[in-house]
Every structure is written in C-alpha cells, then in structure tokens.
C-alpha cells in the first residue's frame, strides 16, 4: 500500500482519529520490513548460523567476529590470577580450641561458605589459606610452622580469636604462645572470644580484597 493511498483513506476520518491511524499504519509498515529482513537471514540446515555474515539491516541478529579492539576485554595477568584466587579459597583448618566450633559453623548450611568458593582441605599441600583458630601452645608451635611451610606459595594466614591473636585469657600462662604471629606471618586478624561466624566471614572478605591488590607477576618481572 503506497503512502498516497494511506493519506487518501485518512481523509474519511475525523481530525482526532487521524494521528492514531497514521501511527498504526506506520508501525505495520516497519514491522513488515523487519519481518522480511529477518526472513532473509534465517539459517537453514545447509547454511549454518556461524557462516552468516554481518548485515546492515536493522533486524540483523546474525553472529559475527570482533572487528575492532574495543570489543575485547583488556586486563593484566595479575588481575586474572587474583580474580581466580578470590573465588577458590581453600583453607587449611587448624582448629586448636573453641574458636574451631565457630569456624565449622561458617561451613554449615546457615552461612554456606561454599557459595563464595571456600572449601576446607585436610592437606596443607592443597591449601592456600590457613585459619588458626584457638590457643596456640608452645608444644603446638613447631607443628604449626611445619604445616605452614608445606603450603604452596602464595599463602595467607587468618588468625581467629583473642587467643590466636595475642594469647587471650591465657596470655600470662607459661605454656601459651602470645600470638601466632610470633611463629608465622599473619594477614588478617579476627577479634573476639570466640568470634562469631559472621566475623570470620568478614575476615575472609577482607582477605579477598588483599588478594585483589597483590602484584605477584609484576614483582617477578621487575626482578
């Protein structure tokens, strides 16, 4: 139907209904044009969708390869590696006292640490994070250092609870180490006696921020 025919038919209607009818006719014309364009690029068994080239029509939904550098995501090796480490934290459980109960509470269904990629490992060679939860005694200090040395690089340590941070209630005891940071380096301190599972989860989130800022590859390159 030509445009002259459309305006000739509109002359029989009142001035109030003419804009609505003109808008409806224009919409039908555009919809018919898009339908014909999509029908022309529809794939068939003899013409796979991947082989369809990019069209210039408005109704083109065909697949095409990237044509310029703006369609690529630019990043660094450090950012990609740090992003993968944040989503796959495997802690080594080193429960020593009542703080270990709250650590197990974080792994239960209420807080569900698996949803952010935290999976407890029983072997230090498969872990990248150690959670020291509880009172560290003098006799337990050598095994703590031995387990820490068996963890692969890079590795991080979370000190959970007042006893692990500085001795806690047993600070003046003859058999207690006044802070596990005297034996191994600590990255995150979680205060409390005992700290709640929410506090430990918040400490893990802070560790993820620290992982995001690490620059392992750049420092290696500068050496």
Look at 157-161, 191-195, 216-220 and tell me which has the smallest mean pLDDT: 216-220
- Which among 2-6, 73-77, 104-108 has the top mean pLDDT? 104-108
Residues 141 and 61: their CA atoms lie apart, in Å, by 64
Residues 211 and 203: their CA atoms lie apart, in Å, by 12
State the average pLDDT for the chain: 74
CA distances from 154 to 20, 76, 117, 128, 162 (A): 68, 18, 17, 7, 26
Q: Given a cut of 80, is residue 91 above it in pLDDT?
A: yes
Token duo for residue 164: 């692990």
Query: Would you place residue 61 in the very low, low, confident or very high pLDDT band (cuts 50, 70, 90)?
Result: very low
Q: Quick one: pLDDT at residue 10? A: 47
Span(s) in the chain for CATH 3.40.50.12280: 78-214
Q: What is the pTM of this model?
A: 0.62
Q: Given a cut of 90, is residue 194 above it in pLDDT?
A: no
> What are the tens digits of pLDDT across the range 7-58?
455 455 455 555 555 556 555 655 555 455 555 555 555 555 554 444 455 4
Query: Would you place residue 146 in the very low, low, confident or very high pLDDT band (cuts 50, 70, 90)?
Result: very high
CATH dotted code for 78-214: 3.40.50.12280
Residues 60 and 113: their CA atoms lie apart, in Å, by 44
Q: Where are the alpha helices (DSSP H) in 63-186?
A: 77-86, 99-107, 141-150, 162-166
Higher pLDDT, 153 or 11: 153
For a pLDDT cut of 90, what percent of the chain falls above it?
A: 16
Higher pLDDT, 214 or 123: 123
Per residue, the 3-state secondary structure of 57-88, as one string, reads CCCCCCCCCCCCHHHCCCCCHHHHHHHHHHCC
Q: Where are the alpha helices (DSSP H) in the chain?
A: 3-10, 18-40, 77-86, 99-107, 141-150, 162-166, 197-212, 216-222
All residues at 6 or more sequence positions from 50 whose CB lies less than 8 Å from its CB, including other chains:
63
Q: Quick one: pLDDT at residue 52? A: 47
Mean pLDDT of 72-79: 67
């Amino acid at each position: 139907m030509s445009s002259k025919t459309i305006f000739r038919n509109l002359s029989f209607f009142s001035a109030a209904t003419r804009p609505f009818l003109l808008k409806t006719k224009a919409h039908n014309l555009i919809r018919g044009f898009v339908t014909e364009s999509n029908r022309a690029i529809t794939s068939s068994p003899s013409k796979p969708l991947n082989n369809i080239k990019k069209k210039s029509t408005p109704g083109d939904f065909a697949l095409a390869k990237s044509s310029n550098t703006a369609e690529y995501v630019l990043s660094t090796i450090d950012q990609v590696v740090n992003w993968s480490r944040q989503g796959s934290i495997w802690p080594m459980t080193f429960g020593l006292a009542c703080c270990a109960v709250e650590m197990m509470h974080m792994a239960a269904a209420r807080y569900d640490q698996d949803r952010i990629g935290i999976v407890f490992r029983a072997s230090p060679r498969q872990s990248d994070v150690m959670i020291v939860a509880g009172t560290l005694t003098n006799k337990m200090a050598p095994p703590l250092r031995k387990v820490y040395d068996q963890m692969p690089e890079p590795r991080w340590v979370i000190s959970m609870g007042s006893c692990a941070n500085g001795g806690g209630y047993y600070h003046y005891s003859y058999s207690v180490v006044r802070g596990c940071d005297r034996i191994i380096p600590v990255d995150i301190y979680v205060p409390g006696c005992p700290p709640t599972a929410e506090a430990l989860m918040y400490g893990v989130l802070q560790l993820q921020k620290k992982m995001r800022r690490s620059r392992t590859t750049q420092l290696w390159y500068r050496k």
